[in-house]
Amino acid sequence: MSASPHAVRKVNDTLTIGGVARLTGVTAKTIRYYEARGVVAAPVRADNGYRVYDEQAVHILRFIKRARALGFSLADVEDLLALWGNEGRSSADVKGLAQRHIQEIEQKLAELQGMRRTLLELVNRCHGDDRPSCPILDELAEADTHNSGS
């Protein structure tokens, strides 16, 4: 009986990088990046040179993936990991970090809403016909001339 193409490769009860990638949904390239940045500890190497990971690495990478999916920066993820690993932490520290992130999201939302309003106005002013005149392009060109003097 052959192994499933989705089987997780194990070496002496540890996981290879491909297995960890499949279990966590984090690509091998990203895992290596996190290792290089020191976000996750570099794994031990098997005699064959393969990186080998344990279940703790899987938990940490899943934690990182969830935090990144919520838009936390890598620096914030490092702070969250430090808090997660510190049993003497204050939940107020975690809450404060999350509240700062919410403020950043709200600022980005306001910026996006402003862009949306501007684009809606420009689209409404554009005839969208066969004529070459286009207020969208005119506005983009005008904004460029205002910024070129900076």
For the residues of 32-57, what is the DSSP string, one character each? HHHHHHTSSPPPEE-TTS-EEB-HHH
* Neighbour tally for 20: CB within 10 Å: 25
pTM score over 0.85: no
pLDDT in tens, 28-44: 999 999 999 999 999 98
Domain positions in the chain: 1-70, 90-150
Q: Which CATH architecture has domain 1-70?
A: Orthogonal Bundle (1.10)
pLDDT in tens, 48-73: 888 899 999 999 999 999 999 999 99
Give me 57's structure tokens.
């690495």
Residue 26 has what pLDDT?
A: 97
Per 3-state DSSP, the chain is made up of helix, strand and coil in percentages (nearest 5) of 60, 5, 30
Residue 3 has what pLDDT?
A: 44
Q: Does pLDDT of 12 surpass 70?
A: no
- Alpha carbons 138 and 145: distance in angstroms, whole number: 11
Q: Does pLDDT of 8 surpass 80?
A: no
